[in-house]
Homo-oligomer: A and B are copies of this chain.
Amino acid sequence: MLSSRLQEVLDGPWAHVRKAARAELAGDKFVAVPGETIDEARERVTRLLRELPADPGVAAGFPIEYGGQADPGGSVVAAEMLAQIDLSLMVKAGVQWGLFGGAVVALGTTYHHDRYLRSIIDADLLGCFAMTETGHGSDVQQLRTTCTYDPATQTFDLHTPHDAARKDYIGNAARDGRMAVVFAQLITGGRRYGVHAWLVPIRDERGEPLPGVTIGDDGHKAGLLGVDNGRLSFDHVTVPREMLLDRYGQVAPDGTYTSSIDNDIRRFFTMLGTLVRGRVVVGGSAANAAKSALTIAVRYGESRRQFTAPGETREVALNDYLAHQRVLGINLAHAYALHFAQDELVSTLHEVQTADGPVDEHRQRELESRAAGLKAAQTWHATRAIQAAREACGGAGYLAENRLPGLKADTDVFTTFEGDNTVLLQLVAKGLLTGYRDAFGSLDGWGRATFAAEQVRAMVLERTAARSLIQRLIDAVPGRDEEVALTDRGWHLALFEDREKHLLEGAVRRLRRGAGRKGRQFDIFNDVQDHVLEVARAHIDRIVLEAFVAGIDRTADDEARALLSQVCDLYVLSTVEAHKGWYLEHQRLTPARSKAVTARVNDLLRRLRPHLTTLVDAFAIPDEWLNAAILREEPGRQDVMAAEDTAAE
């Protein structure tokens, strides 16, 4: 079957993790349950968290000596698979092993690892990642919670100075968490050293909040009912000196602060950078939830017949309509493109995080930028694709029994958590404008004085892993633009690259010009904010395309490669079509060629029509996981109806 061969390609380097998940999590045991109360959902998800198989699992990223498998890539892919089963369970696992456990690994030292990692991996010790505050979500450098060292008692005093400084939206806080990694401003000897993290007990054995800790419940949310998000405030809570996660900054008993990184901001973003995996998980999970939604909608659209075609007795399937194909086919092409990009990102993450020796700082920054950009692209794609799938299923798409409402509600927050998408795009753009030199994973928008307009410069475009392949294709483009076939891959690559480059250079020019004028520095950046965000989007489009091209190049099976190539054509030309205004404004396309792009998109949709189900079958999502009543209806019903039509008309 073509779909099986395609599945082999998609399963990629962590195929064993995907296959194990399909086998070990088979059936409906772990599957999301629609219509639960919040208490039922929380109870179920917490229970199932402890029953998840360890190997391969979301905890695969932990060091082998504590029971993990030192397989960060595998842990991300395991989370992506969970996202197809139950997004609450995925997020709960991500909070426990990714954020909480991940912070203990990355920011703590042997003292913390020896004492806590085993019980974290076993889910005996459930914990929180307490960074975000009600008043400060994206600007984490400016968190208001303080943790002040007192040499007399050799303890820290953790304190929430006012309501806006309470920790908010914290997973595992409202019900289950026993400890929390709390981010706060470190103060010792009367000086601030920026944000650090402490491991802080928040509940006693019986689950009651510890003295000085106030715990609130975020209550009902749009979705993710199984995750107990809550609020934490600290009223002068005493924290032992040893509980500072002190890999990047240490406080001696006498209060002396030391760190291998002098600059406070640089240190903080180095710490944050170690936590990049969370964004990779969120992006990949969103994209995998979108695959579930598209699978449901495409299969429904194949069986659902709406109107009788003139002169025929059999009704036309929804998937036969061009308007339906435009929605589902294009989203499907984007799902494929993003799949290859995510695969490449996971591989890069795995290499960086398993490399021996000192961290390659440039590589780390590039990883952070790609993680940020692909998180934004994949979560927005998920919001769009799941909405499209919901609408494509009509009223049936609104019923909880057909899964789409759950997919939609659960993934909705992904565009704004683990970094707000707009802020992440700014981070990507900033990296491009400074060549990652001063980017530092900062989420500070355009605010900080450390990034002045004068510093911007267009970096040399850095190619992805497949750079020689890409260059070869671009070099092979024959003749002038107008004469090149619309499906010439080299032309596609050159077109995407040109757009990114031109946008980037234009942004640099406008920022420099702004810097030369008087006015508030904020306005200089704000005036070009839309342009700068477009730079980031164009960059991500290119990264995604290059990953897709490299993935096709790796595909050995001829038939699979040919089909993927058509899907890639559709990804490219639908993206060009979406930006045709820009290409025409900048005379990269003539009006005639622009119209030809639209015609070709429609033509590709017609050609791909017979393969729509093949393309979703290749996602290989088990029926129990899809959990949609409309796909379970008795076979043959449509035939009954068709027969009846013939009889009646």
User: Which positions in A face B, CB cutoff 8 Å?
Assistant: 34-35, 37-38, 132, 135-139, 142, 144, 161-164, 168-169, 218-223, 306-312, 316, 320-323, 326, 383, 387, 390-391, 394-395, 397-401, 404-405, 408-409, 412-413, 415-417, 420-422, 444-449, 520-522, 526-527, 529-530, 533, 577, 580-581, 584-587, 591, 594-595, 598, 602, 634, 637, 640-641, 644
- Give every chain B residue within 8 A of A142 (Cβ-Cβ): 307-308
A448 to B533, CA, bound (A): 47
Residue of B nearest to A304 (CB): B135
A580 and B581 alpha carbons, distance in the complex (Å): 5
With A169-B395, A219-B400 already in contact, 4 other A-B pairs whose C-beta atoms are closer than 8 Å: A138-B307, A139-B306, A311-B521, A394-B416
Contacts of A584 in B (CB 8 A): 580-581, 584-585, 591, 594
The one of B394, B417, B641 that contacts A137, using a Cβ cutoff of 8 Å: B394
In the complex, the answer to whether A398 meets B422 with C-beta atoms within 8 Å is: no
A114 to chain B, nearest CB (A): 34
Complex CA distance for A323 and B376, rounded to whole angstroms:
15
Q: A598 to chain B: which residues have CB within 8 Å?
A: 530
Our pick among B399, B586, B595 for the contact of A585 (Cβ within 8 Å) is B595
Is there an interface contact between B222 and A409, defined as CB atoms closer than 8 Å?
Answer: yes
- B399-A221 in contact (CB<8A): yes
Of B139, B395, B586, which is within 8 A of A591 by CB? Answer: B586
A79 to B391 Cα, complex, angstroms: 24
Minimal beta-carbon separation of A498 from chain B (angstroms): 16
Task: Find chain B residues with CB under 8 A from A420 CB.
Answer: 394
**Judging by beta carbons under 8 Å apart, are A307 and B35 in contact?**
no
Q: Is the CB of A309 within 8 A of B522?
A: yes
Q: List 6 A-B contacts (CB under 8 A).
A: A138-B394, A139-B307, A163-B637, A221-B405, A387-B387, A398-B416
Residues of B near A448 (CB, < 8 A) are: 310
Which partner residue on chain B sits nearest A649 by CB separation? Answer: B142
Chain B residues contacting A321 (CB-CB under 8 Å) are 445, 526, 529
CB distance from A373 to the nearest CB of B (A): 16
Q: Indicate if the CB atoms of B637 and A445 lie closer than 8 Å.
A: no
> Pick the contact of A219 from B35, B218, B412 — CB < 8 Å?
B35
- A-B pairs, top 9 by smallest CB distance, nearest first, are A222-B405, A220-B400, A35-B220, A580-B581, A584-B584, A309-B522, A307-B447, A581-B581, A322-B529
Q: Bound complex: CA of A400 vs CA of B526, how far in Å?
A: 32
The chain B residue with its CB closest to the CB of A222 is B405
Whether the Cβ atoms of B447 and A222 lie closer than 8 Å is no
Chain B positions within 8 Å of A136 at CB level: 306
Distance in Å: Cβ of A415 to nearest Cβ of chain B: 6
A144–B557 alpha-carbon span in the complex (Å): 47
**In the assembly, what is the distance between CA of A34 and CA of B640, in Å?**
43
Q: With A and B bound together, what is the CA distance between A397 and B218 in angstroms?
A: 12
| Chain B nearest Cβ from A533, distance in angstroms | 6
Inter-chain CA distance A312–B577, complex, in Å, is 42
Chain B contacts for A449, CB-based, 8 A: 310-311
What are the residues of chain B within 8 A of A409 when measuring CB–CB?
222, 405, 409
When distances are taken between beta carbons in the complex, the residues of chain B under 8 Å from A38 are 35
Nearest B residue to A527 via CB reads B322
Task: State the CA gap A350–B341 with chains docked (Å).
Answer: 55
CB-CB under 8 A for A522 and B312, given A221-B398, A422-B323: yes
Question: Do the beta carbons of B387 and A416 come within 8 Å of each other?
Answer: no
